[in-house]
């Protein structure tokens, strides 16, 4: 079984293995052995990354919706595809 010190070294060398090992420890209830500091840091980074991604997609969607409404003569399949894709598949993945 990995120790906390080993996990902190593993975090720097192999993040995927570090994630797998910490998930196993948490599922088994070994909170004392898990790398809590890096787990919290990773969760915060994931939350920030996901928020940036959602905001970016919303900006693209809003831009295309404005173009669709105010530049009717320039409507094309590309805008239609992007609007549909972002509305249904990206912003609401549970609908896929």
One DSSP character per residue, 37-73 reads HHHHHHHHHHHHHHHHHHHHHHHHHHHHHHHHHH-GG
The residue ranges of every structural domain in the chain are 52-96
Write the pLDDT tens digit of every residue in 1-12.
666 668 888 988
Residue 95 pLDDT > 60, yes or no?
Answer: no
Contacts of 71 (CB under 8 A, 6+ apart): none
Dist CA 8 CA 66 (whole Å):
48
What pLDDT shows up at residue 96?
Answer: 47
Which one of 34-43, 53-62, 63-72, 75-84 scores highest in mean pLDDT? 34-43
Residue 41 pLDDT > 80, yes or no?
Answer: yes
Contacts of 67 (CB under 8 A, 6+ apart): 74, 79
């Amino acid at each position: 079984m990995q120790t906390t010190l080993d996990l902190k070294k593993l975090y720097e060398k192999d993040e995927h293995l570090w994630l797998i090992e910490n998930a196993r420890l948490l599922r088994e209830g070994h909170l004392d052995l898990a790398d809590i500091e890096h787990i919290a840091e990773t969760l915060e980074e994931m939350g920030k990354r996901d928020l940036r991604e959602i905001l970016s997609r919303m900006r693209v969607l809003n831009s295309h919706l404005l173009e669709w409404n105010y530049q009717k003569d320039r409507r094309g399949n590309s805008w239609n595809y992007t609007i549909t894709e972002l509305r249904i598949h990206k912003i609401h993945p549970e609908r896929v």
